[in-house]
Structure 1
Amino acid sequence: MKKKYLYLSVITGLLVAADQLVKMYIHTQFHLGESVVVIPNFFNLTYVRNFGAAFGFLAESHPSFREIFFLAMPPIALIIILTIMRGVKDDDTKQIIALSSIFGGAIGNYIDRLRFRYVIDFLDFHVNNKYSWPAFNIADSAIVGGVTLLLLMMVMEARQKKAEEAPKAP
């Protein structure tokens, strides 16, 4: 097995296991909307059901559209990631980790969609219960982390290319 697919398997497995274990704990031990303070005035564990995408995007759309969309998109995204992964060099560890994180996160949230028709969110950051970030989960964190790493790599590559193309002073 190629190194990149080993990384993909291990990272995906760890992310999905951690994501699903914590979600099941929240789902079985918390009541919907229940919140436990972890860091006062900053971080709670709060049981939220997200019927939309990130930050509730499309949560208010027609249920039939929403269900078809959210059940169809993850497999398409997974196929795209696997297709991209085929072209990634075996020694491009950063890109492999980034794509694997997105892949694992997508599977973690897709499992929720298949089981419940919503995603379980629970990480609740806020400032003095006044300014609040929408609740999210481990899978969301993996997706955002993977996308952020890919974007940083693209920016760094563009800067390096620009520096290499710049005229040299005599």
Structure 2
Amino acid sequence: MNTPSLTNWPARLGYLLAVGGAWFAADQVTKQMARDGAKRPVAVFDSWWHFHYVENRAGAFGLFSSFGEEWRMPFFYVVGAICIVLLIGYYFYTPPTMKLQRWSLATMIGGALGNYVDRVRLRYVVDFVSWHVGDRFYWPSFNIADTAVVVGAALMILESFREPRQQLSPG
């Protein structure tokens, strides 16, 4: 059984706070900007990208939108907290040599915290990025925290396909 390496844990914690904190701060600042000014859509590229303020009371892609708030909110609080704790635990179990995986985990933690704070503070998640193709296909609105989680997860998947750096020598 692997145990978390407490070697240089202050540096590991500092790295987690720097990377995860940067994503969290970017998420919270942009959400505040969206709340302050984007009550109407703002075109970035008129044919496919707008900033459009949305209060998302459901989960990703509208999951659990049919559930009553008395069930939905406790579910999001509990599952969100469990996910954040597991990500933090996994971060500290990750060897220092796996730099991309540590960056990915810190990125996901920052994003997960950004959306979790919204749920606890506002009872909804602020989304504001709207991508679409013409007037036919609309991707669900999202935010910087969602981007952090997706980028972090995608990089972890890519990392899993890389060759291990150290091979055990035979015999």
Give TM-score, length-normalised by structure 1: 0.86
Number of the residue aligned with 1:4: 12
Amino acid at match of 2:36: T
Counterpart AA for 2:32: M
1:13 aligns with 2:21: yes
Give me the whole-angstrom Cα distance separating, in 2, the residues matched to 1:48 and 1:140.
14
Identical amino acids, percent of aligned pairs: 32
Partner of 2:79: 73
Structure 2 counterpart of 1:113, from 119, 126, 138: 119
Cα gap change, 1:24 to 1:156, in 2 (>3 Å): same
Instruction: Deviation per CA, 1:73-106: give whole Å up to 9, x if none.
Output: 2211111112112211112110001100110001
On the 8 A contact 1:101/1:143 being kept in 2, the answer is yes
Alpha-carbon distance, 1:23 to partner: 0.4
Which TM-score applies when normalising by structure 2?
0.86
3-state SS of 2:109 partner: helix
Partner of 1:42 in structure 2?
48
Spell out, residue by residue over 1:19-46, the C-alpha distance to the aligned partner (whole angstroms, 9 max, x if none): 1111011112232xx2111101110000
Larger relative helix fraction: 1
What do you get for the CA RMSD once the two structures are aligned?
A: 1.7
Equivalent residue pairs, number = 158
Structure 1: which 5+ runs fail to align? 165-170
1:133-167 per-position Cα deviation (integer Å, ceiling 9, x unaligned): 0000000000011111111112335xx6xxx8xxx
Distance in structure 2 (CA, Å) of the matches to 1:86 and 1:11: 14
Measured after TM superposition, the shift of residue 10 of structure 1 is 0.3
